[in-house]
Structure formats: C-alpha cells, structure tokens
Amino acid sequence: MEHEKARTGRVTGRVEWAVLPSAIGPLLLAATDRGLVNVTFHAEGRVRERSLERLAGVLRAELVADGSGRLAEPIRQLAAYFDGELRSFDVKLDWSLVTGFNRQVLRELEDSVPYGTVVGYGELARRVGQPTAAQAVGSAMGANPLPLVVPCHRVVESDGGIGGFGGSVETKRRLLALEGVLPEPLF
C-alpha cells in the first residue's frame, strides 16, 4: 500500500518512517519535524500498514519512507540500546499523539524511571498526584505511542507481577532482562 499522502483531510506536514530490525522484532519508527512521534512493535505486514494509516489520518501528514533524515539519530540510539551500549535516550520527542493524564504519566515515567529500574503502577499514579489511579496509569502505558524511548516496559505490578505490555509480555520480559532487572531466559 502506498503511503505518500494522507488518505483523508488536508496534508499538514511530513512524517518520515522506517522499519528497524531489533532483538525484539521489527520496530516501525516515525518522526515529524518536532521529533520521534511513534514506535510500533512487530511492524510487519498488516501491523505496519495499520500503523502508517493511523499516523497519516491522525497527523494529516504525508508519509515518506526515510531512515536517513529525522530518524537517523533515533535509529542509532535504539541500535546502541539493544547492543547494551546506551542506557538513556536523548532524542527529540513529538508528544502530539498523547494528551492530558496520559501525557503527564508518560512524562513522569520518562523523567524518573531510569534504565535497570522498575516502578509500580500505583507508585507512578502517586507521583503524578493521583494515588487511586493505578488502573488509569495502566491505560496510559497501553496508549504510549513511544514505547522503549518512553519506557513503559519498566512499569510493573506492586505484587511483583510483570503486568501487561502492548508489545507482548514476552517482549517486556526480554527488555527487562536486557536491562538486568530480570534474568535472561534459559530457553
């Protein structure tokens, strides 16, 4: 399917996208002139197509396959992360796909939960001044348009459970193992 122009509405910008092979499968990365706007797990076939269609519609943007422009630095940093050489991302982010409470929670997560650590859903809710909003924090994690870079895989259940993850629980386990939080799987 061609993604050179948004399917509906007036085109208001340009989104560059690329698929990056990674240790957890292909990742679709997309960036606007403001920064990285989206990371999608398992970006093959229909998953990639749906993600691109959604971005074109929501952002009313022309989609251009290009990993050498706006995405060059995010691609470099993600490769370094998976190689165990990078512990903190330093890329411009475009927060336009997330608003309100979700944005507040994701910004707190990005700012206060470093590599190799985890936080509980309830604790993250307390940090944003909503101590009874643990389930809403879970919803914010599920709606995170920038996983990995905004590390929702580091949010776990207060009873020690791993919790859910939009990229699959197995992917979450692998990311936490990469960061030294969990042991590497034996098989």
- Pairing assessment for the beta strands 119-120 and 155-156 based on DSSP bridges: parallel
Question: Partners of 16 in the beta sheet?
Answer: 31, 64
The answer to whether 32 and 61 have CB atoms below 8 angstroms apart is yes
Among 110, 74, 76, 80, smallest CA distance to 95 is for 110
Give the separation between CA 52 and CA 57, rounded to whole angstroms.
9
User: What does the DSSP 8-state code read for residue 28?
Assistant: E
Give the separation between CA 2 and CA 42, rounded to whole angstroms.
20
Give the separation between CA 23 and CA 55, rounded to whole angstroms.
24
Active-site residue, 55 included:
no
Look-up of token digits 């979700």: 102
Exactly one of 15, 24, 152, 155 is catalytic; which is it? 152
Catalytic residues: 152
